Structure 1
Amino acid sequence: MSQRRRRSLALLTSGVLALPLLTGCGAGDDEGGPAAAGQDIATTTRDKVADGGVLRWAVDTLPETLNAFQADADATTSRIAGAVLPQLFVLDAKGRPVANPDYLEKAEVIEREPKQVVLYKLNQQAVWSDGREIGAPDFVAQWRALSGKDTAYWTARNAGYERIEKIEKGKTDLEVRVTFAKPYTDWRSLFSPLYPKQVTGTPDAFNEGARGTLKVTAGPFALGAIDKKTATAALTRNPRWWGKQAKLDTLVLTAVPRAERPAALAAGKVDLAEIDRSGAERIALARRDAAGKGAAGGGGAPAHGPGAATTPAQATLSWANAFGTDEEKAAQEREARTKHTEAVKRYADEQAALRGFTVRKSLEPAYTQLAMNGASGPLADERVRRAVARALDRQALADLVLKPLGLPAKPVGSHVALAGQQAYADNSDALGGQDAKAAQALLADAGWRRGGKITEPAGAKAGPESAPQDDGKTPAGPGTGNDGLYIVGEDDGANGEAAGTDTGAGADTR
């Protein structure tokens, strides 16, 4: 496939709530309520996709660590892990988590009483790149690293792993039994990605060993070179992969700031890039101009971009200064005019190249939230939290964020699931809609008055009992029960229980 053909489309997903904005190459019934929008992707069957080639994918940064469970892991860390490490569950077309047959024959809850037990039956072909079978020792090592019991491990998240009581080998080497001390509904999110025991077996290996490289992998791609100078990370097709071979020979992740991505696409430096609203608008303008619908009429400099807002009077003044009697001022103006001319030409050339791209919208299981810490301070009072919730207009916020992107704007009404999921139910009426008077009444009842002054509410106790104190032991933040209000939410019906995501069944999506 030629590069021109590869770059003939622009795929766009929006990073807010339901849809991130992606640009790149490319040629049923909902359950639990309507999804946000239909897919806007030109799908095709696998057999019609050409084999081979290199895809250059723009990412925000090169990862500081390749350990997805560390605090400084980022989206690129997760992207690499998804390509080179086992993902036990993947999402189907309706966003539901299903066992990945490349790694699992089956995974199910086999006991609920007296304790929850999950049995994993592994694919007998699944092996690490060093030839060792994927098995119980890898599960055990990851559990111990992420359980939170050993503080020597630098872990950023432990949800679910701290509930595991024990992990055992089943009847065969291909079976793994996981027993939970407390039931965990979102068990499918665990062990994805699954790291080899060489990474999770000791604190030193976990903390430092997987930051810059992964010596042992087990995915359709293998980790190649990470080059800081060129800001690229190469993933190459894994010759030992037992599943369907990857179509691409190489996937090159290239760090490109979002503001520079339209220019990088136009210059042919990347083939796929998540873009923002301004990038999408540039492509739309380029295609409009190519069709002769722009003010430039399809020829000459575009009627937008550098200098488009310059008035005739400003242009005349610039010319006069450039050729005036003040030599120093004239030299400065001529230099500025030269730079401006170069910027206009560069922008026009980029727009001409962007005409070959088409903007697409791709669905993503995501949401945007406003979280309030209710562990201490004024927000420790439930009345204050409810007042803030009633004061904010969730619909207005959703409109502000999503309508400019051409996306449906309906706030999420569930704390458990995203719209389109089987478990989704709109419970937003339990709190009530935006109501400034109700918010004021709640604040008054809590002792707050206009001007920021606080008075002692009727019946309040004096002394230390009058206000809850933060003892440092109460967790705060999403998923802890002290995360307060989640505001904007419009989603695509993708699943929240998927392994390796933060939109699990236990996550709040208010």
Structure 2
Amino acid sequence: MGLRKGVFGAAAGALAVVLTLSACGASGSKGAGNGDEATKKLANKFTVDWNPQPRDKIKDGGTVTIPVTEIPSQENTMAVGTTTASAAIWNWYNPQLTFLTPEGKWSYNKDYLTDVTHTEKGGNTVVTYTLNPKAVWNDGTPMSWKSFELTWKSCNGSDSKYQTTGDCSNITSVKQGENNRQAVVTYDGPYAWWQSGFGAILNPHITNADVFNNAYQNKLQSDWGAGPYTVDSANFKTGRITFKRNPRWWGNKGKLDRVVYQQMEETAEINAFKNGEVDMATTATKDRLAQVQSMSDVTVHRSTSNAVGLLILNADRPQLRDVNVRKAILEGIDRTTLAKIQYNGLGYTGAVGGSLILLPFQNGYSDSVGNAGYKYSPDEANKLLDAAGWKKGADGIREKDGQKLTLQFPLSGDDPSTVAQGKAIISMEKQIGVSVNIKQIASADFIKTLTGHGWDAFMSGFSMSDPYGANYICYFYCSKSAGQAAAGNNSAAGTKALDTQMRALAKIPDPMKQTQAAMKLESDWYRQTWGELPTTNGPAVVTTKSGLANLAPVPFFGLAAYGSVPVENFGWQK
């Protein structure tokens, strides 16, 4: 499970990658034949299924154990090297300042904020955050405007030592307001997506880049957190993290006694669920679903997914520096076949992606990849490779200057559908004379491998935790010269000219007009670079023990789309 972190929207890098969409995949109640009718109906529609319940309908006490495929060493959710697992873990013991409904309507958490106002002054967007006088960090330090300032300084580019995923260079100042409990944030010009800002803030101890980068390495900073839960134990060797109720919390107490995150591979996850060791599992294929069919007291939850699968090509690798070679390799990929493998036996259609910034059910969506001229065409791919000077050898694999056209392609995890997709890609690329060497890696090594960039092709993915897609266009597509602003572009493809155009989009004050311009520019990026390819937009289906309610305590379960609820309201229904 995983998705885009709406941690700090002004930092257009508030996003986290996950293994593949198999971790957020689909399933059905029968898992065979023509598929499940309930899953079929999710295609191209907006549906959520997260068992929302009033707080007074939730039992007091109990434990929920949640499986995750990895627990990264970096547990500062704003730093480079984190994934959705670290973002979810962060949200359990740090301030949860804002919420979204499943449809994306924004609100603030009154336990931390008594007021948030937005105005335009002198052509600039100004947002004022007033903190709750009761709000205090676990070490006893009162929350103040300084945490907003420190968060801004970590990502405004003034100190390049910060290894951050964020880019908040569009903020010109963060100042104290009427008193120490009020922060006044001023943007450079209009900012259409101000609601995405400051969903989380840093503890006042995180005063410099060294602390920011290193204090959360293989460690959770319990004293620097705040909220209904705090850290009970954290063992990075066994991959087990436990949270308990926080005695310093001033709001409604957490309904659960404990929340546990346990790292395990995907096949182990389904077995652990069957054995009662964890309380939920992604039933992403008919095979996974079939394994839980005989279980009693379980519930299958099906939702429209805000997840996007992604195939990335590393434009820095010698054989991939030619844009036409990259385009050929991508045109050799039949995404419909990949989707059929992903959702085999489920009857689900409409699962091929066309954009990284909007989903098919959102207003303004268009198929940016298709509009750029992409099509699955081995014939066209072969012509492009011929023209680029890559000639087929006796073994059918292309060569140029004595080098074979071979792609090093790590695959993370052991889910059968992921393995099957990898084998399908080998077969597809062989048709155009490209050799693909797959190396299976452990899920725990996913982020290390991805950010190490020692590969030619990589399957990744993410889920969107907010609907402000145009806000993230530079994060996904800016070139390396943009620095931290382009933290989400692992392809190394892009141009400074496109960067300039993407930066200019942020000045468009009308959200819909900015979105329309962003969709066009996204298509232009593909047309000029072909550094990556959206693959699947499938449903989210998760099987839980019956009675587990409010399945959106952090926006990373995928069952409530953009929705998030107070973590203290997650638990077992009465």
**Which residue is equivalent to 1:49?**
58
* Secondary structure in structure 2 of the residue aligned to 1:422: coil
Report how far residue 92 of structure 1 moved. 0.9
Can you list the C-alpha shifts for 1:149-208, whole angstroms capped at 9, x where unaligned? Answer: 43444x2413x224433211233444322234476655544434322111x213343234
Query: Secondary structure of 2:336's match?
Result: helix
Report what 2:256 is aligned to.
248
Q: CA separation in 2, counterparts of 1:276 and 1:380?
A: 35
Residue 272 of structure 1 pairs with residue 280 of structure 2: yes
Residue 16 of structure 1 corresponds to 21
* Structure 1 residues without counterparts, runs of 5 or longer: 1-13, 23-32, 288-353, 456-470, 494-498, 506-510
Equivalent in the alignment of 1:314: none
1:45-95 CA-partner distances (Å, limit 9, x unpaired) = 432221222222223345534322334434432222111112333331214
Q: What SS class does the counterpart of residue 486 from structure 1 fall into?
A: strand
1:73 aligns with 2:82: yes
Gaps of 5+ in 2: 1-18, 28-41, 402-478, 495-529, 541-553, 563-574
Q: Please give the alpha-carbon distance, in whole angstroms, between the structure 2 residues aligned to 1:53 and 1:206.
A: 34
Structure 2 residue 428 is the aligned partner of structure 1 residue 487? no
Contact 1:35/1:492, CA 8 A, preserved across alignment:
no
CA 1:40–1:141 in 2, change beyond 3 Å: closer, same or farther? closer
Say if 1:477 and 1:237 are closer, same or farther in 2 by CA, change over 3 A.
Answer: closer
Asked if the contact 1:103–1:126 (Cα under 8 Å) also holds between the matched residues in 2, the reply is: yes
Q: Does 1:411 align with 2:352?
A: yes
Structure 1 length-normalised TM: 0.64
Q: Which residue of 2 aligns with 1:402?
A: 343
Q: Give the Cα separation in 2 of the matches to 1:147 and 1:250.
A: 37
Alignment partners' CA distance in 2, 1:492 and 1:106: 36
Q: Structure 1 residues 368, 86: closer, same or farther in 2, change over 3 A?
A: same
The answer to which structure, 1 or 2, has the higher relative contact order (CA under 8 A, 6+ apart) is 2
Q: Answer whether contact 1:368 1:488 (CA < 8 A) is retained.
A: yes
Show the counterpart of 1:140: 149
CA distance in 2 between partners of 1:447 and 1:182 (Å):
48
1:347-496 superposed matches below 5 A:
354-362=295-303, 364-374=305-315, 377=318, 379-404=320-345, 407-432=348-373, 433-443=375-385, 446=388, 450-451=392-393, 452=398, 473=481, 478-479=488-489, 482=494, 484-491=531-538
Aligned residue for 1:197? 204
Shift of 1:244: 3.6
Please report how far the alpha carbon of residue 267 of structure 1 lies from its aligned counterpart in structure 2 after TM superposition: 3.5
Question: Is the Cα contact below 8 Å between 2:310 and 2:535 reproduced in 1?
Answer: yes
Q: Report how far residue 275 of structure 1 moved.
A: 5.3
User: Contact 2:314 / 2:320 at 8 angstroms: preserved in 1?
Assistant: yes
- Residues 17 and 99 (structure 1), Cα distance of their counterparts in 2 relative to 1, 3 Å cut: farther
**Partner residue of 2:173?**
166
Output one character per residue of 1:206-248: Cα deviation in whole Å (capped at 9) or x when no partner.
2343332321212221122224687532211234434443221
Contact 2:303 2:539 survives alignment (8 Å): no
Deviation at 1:488, TM superposition (A): 0.9
SS of 2:311's equivalent in the other structure is coil
Name whichever of 101-110 and 253-262 sits farther off.
101-110
**Match for 1:258 among 266, 276, 285?**
266
Task: Give yes or no for the alignment of 1:218 onto 2:223.
Answer: no
The letter of the residue matching 2:63 is V
Asked if structure 2 preserves the Cα contact closer than 8 Å seen for 1:89 and 1:98, the reply is yes
Alignment of 1:68-147 (within 5 A): 68-105=77-114, 107=116, 109-111=118-120, 114-147=123-156
**Contact kept in structure 1, 2:123 and 2:190, CA below 8 Å:** no
Aligned to 1:177: 184
RMSD between aligned alpha carbons? 4.1
**What is the TM-score when the length of structure 2 is the normalising length?**
0.57
Q: Write the letter of the residue equivalent to 2:220.
A: T
CA distance in 1, matches of 2:164, 2:69: 21
Distance in structure 2 (CA, Å) of the matches to 1:409 and 1:52: 41
Q: Distance in 2 between matches of 1:225 and 1:260?
A: 22
| Shift in Å, 1:271 | 2.5
Q: Which amino acid aligns with 1:175?
A: Q
Amino acid across the alignment from 1:486: L
Shift of 1:401: 1.8
- 1:38 alignment partner AA: T
Residues 127 and 133 in structure 1, CA contact (< 8 A), matched pair in contact too:
yes
Q: Compare CA radii of gyration and give the structure with the larger one.
A: 1
Partners of 2:81 and 2:240 in 1: CA distance: 18
Secondary structure of residue in 1 paired with 2:292? helix
Kept in 2, the 8 Å contact 1:109–1:118? The answer is: yes
Contact 1:53 1:248 in 2 (8 A): yes
What corresponds to 2:549 in structure 1? none
Q: Distance in 1 between matches of 2:352 and 2:128?
A: 37
Aligned length: 390
**Greater strand content:** 2
In structure 2, how many angstroms separate the alpha carbons of the residues matched to 1:444 and 1:256? 45
Local SS of the residue matching 1:83: helix
**1:392/1:375 CA distance change after superposition, 3 Å:** same
Residue 280 of structure 1, CA deviation: 2.5
Same amino acid, percent of matched pairs:
26
Aligned letter for 2:267?
A
Matching residue's letter, 1:269: E
